[in-house]
Amino acid sequence: MADDAEDLAPAEFTKEELTLLGELEKKHKRITPFRIEGFGLIVLKPPTRKRWGQFQKDAGNELHDAQLTEQALVQDCVAHPDATVIPRILDEYPVALTELSQAVAKLGGGNNKDLVRNLGKDWKRPAATT
């Protein structure tokens, strides 16, 4: 499971949820579970390359509403229960979109310093030896 899953101790999951998380992890490889008050267990999966590309295209288009574009991406990444839960969550907790979209980005490889290290800022050309 993704790093964020470590925040939820196994004792916080029912036996059925642990089984479900195992199945989803097998299917999607990386997942991030959330427990949202009033909505229960929500599990996100990584975006596909195609879906991430569409999100980037839509996010850069000023004709698209940025929040709706971000919400659509998160909805496409719901592995459990289903995408219809996201609008209901956001009606109750609008700022949750930030946390959920950051989790989706991390699942897709973004903002993960262990996975992707930027060597440019630390790189210096070795001194020439004569």
Is omega for the bond preceding 126 within 30 degrees of 0, making it cis?
Answer: no
Q: Can you give the C-alpha Rg of the chain in angstroms?
A: 18
Burial of 107 (0-12, 13-18, 19+ CB in 10 A): buried
- pLDDT tens by residue, 87-112: 999 999 999 999 999 898 888 887 65
| pLDDT score, position 123 | 57
Domain 28-107 has CATH 3.40.50.2000: no
| pLDDT score, position 54 | 84
| pLDDT score, position 118 | 56
| pLDDT score, position 10 | 60
| Residues 77/34, Cβ–Cβ less than 8 Å | no
Domain locations in the chain?
28-107
| Residues 35/12, Cβ–Cβ less than 8 Å | yes
Q: Which residues have C-beta within 8 Å of that of residue 97, sequence separation ≥ 6?
A: 67, 70, 71, 74, 90
Name the stretches of the chain with pLDDT < 50.
1-6
| pLDDT score, position 3 | 47
